[in-house]
Amino acid sequence: MKLDENKMILSQQYTAEVQTAHRAAVEEFMSPQHLRPNVVGLGVGVKWRNGQPTGEPALLTLVTHKIPKDELSRADLIPSRLADMQTDVLEIGYPFAGVGELRQKPTQVRTELIQPTNGATGTYRVTERMEIPEMGVELLAKRARPAEGGYSVGHYKITAGTIATCVYDILPGGSTNPPVHGVGTPPRYYILSNNHVLANSNDAAVGDPILQPGPFDGGNASTDVIARLNRFVPIDFEPTIPREQHRNLVDAAIAEAPFHDIDREIYWLGYVRGWRRKQDVTVGMPVFKTGRTTNFTSGRITAISATVDIGYGNGRTARFKDQIITTNISAGGDSGSLVATLVNNVPAAVGLLFAGSSVATIVNQIENVRSLLRVEIAEQML
């Protein structure tokens, strides 16, 4: 049966209603004493029935994998309603943010929709990954000067991630809330990517060398330094800080680069002409990105306002709030990709890709990235 794509979209009125319920329910639902097996988060989305979207609002319980009801104890069952809002279950796998094991060569990804028969939310799975033959400069794991968004990059002690785009400071007097653009000529220029790509998950020092391509792709500290770490937003990690005390919104960092070595264009996407405020990022919105590993991929937003627990390896977990969940559009090495949508037929930034699994991708809201790093992504709000 063909899916009704219009019913994958959550209206502004419904979004406001379910976000109110989310705020009321999330702290207790995600508390250590109430967290159920396989549950890794709670988000805002659309209710599905019989494998079809309904367009109705729902609190989405984010789980690593679905377990038949008859295998769950009564205490572990997801309530049909939370904070007087209907619930649904969205399988997102085991979300991981890291730059550990990478494929040697970039791939393209194909997905298909799994339509469950029990009325739960549909999920996407990878059906095929195809290695892309080397095509010179079209291989995003190669060295490039100037380097565009989508190309391999990394702190000298990691493997490799992806350049989101190039940004500049919001100048003194520029406000982030409400957003007001800085006035004047940008004096410094930066590569935008993740903390775990450019700042080695909090373990880097300002001024550390950033390589393009990243070390895994052959980047060498003697010949391939493109930038120096300028600043990053620290990440709260468990076990150092209890998960319920985490206030993470972004996994983001910038590295200062010479003007002539970087380019605001994103490979295949072109130039991002604007960015979207959180209030304009909606469930069901089509999105796309270019990244080091899976190149150009597209998908759809399945949840917003999500609180979700992310693994970082070495026994560390970080809880993030206000996240975007999409269908699977990424793989290891795509961390740092800029996620965009089309507004009036031009690309507009939506978020910064930082984590994922085999069935879902996790994205920071670009408004949060912009305000916490105080950088300009593009010159318009779209």
Is residue 104 over pLDDT 60?
no
3 state DSSP class of 280: helix
pTM of the model: 0.90
* Model confidence pLDDT, tens digit, residues 274-313: 999 999 999 999 999 999 999 999 999 999 999 999 999 9
145 domain residue, yes or no: yes
Residue 182 lies in a domain: yes
At 124, is the secondary structure helix, strand, or coil? Answer: strand
Range of the domain at 154: 135-267+372-376
**133-155: per-residue pLDDT in tens?**
444 334 899 999 999 999 999 99
Strands 225-232 and 253-256: antiparallel
Q: Is residue 251 part of a domain?
A: yes
Is 209 inside a domain boundary?
yes
- Specify whether the backbone of 127 is left (phi greater than 0), alpha (psi in -120 to 50) or beta: alpha
Number of domains observed in the structure of the chain: 1
pLDDT attached to residue 180: 65
User: What is the C-alpha end-to-end distance of the chain, expressed in Å?
Assistant: 34
The predicted structure's pLDDT at residue 186: 67
Q: How confident is the model at residue 102 (pLDDT cuts 50, 70, 90)?
A: low
Say whether 195 sits in a helix, a strand or coil.
helix
- State mean pLDDT over 80-96: 97
Asked if the structure places residue 29 within a domain, the reply is no
The dihedral region occupied by 265, where left means phi > 0, alpha psi between -120 and 50, and beta the remainder, is beta
Residue 46 lies in a domain: no
CATH number of the domain to which 174 belongs: 2.40.10.10
Q: What's residue 113's pLDDT?
A: 46
On whether residue 206 sits in a domain, the answer given is: yes
Q: What angle do CA 153, 92, 125 make, to 5 degrees?
A: 85
Task: Tell me the per-residue pLDDT of 258-272, one tens digit each, with 9 for 90 and over.
Answer: 999 999 999 999 999
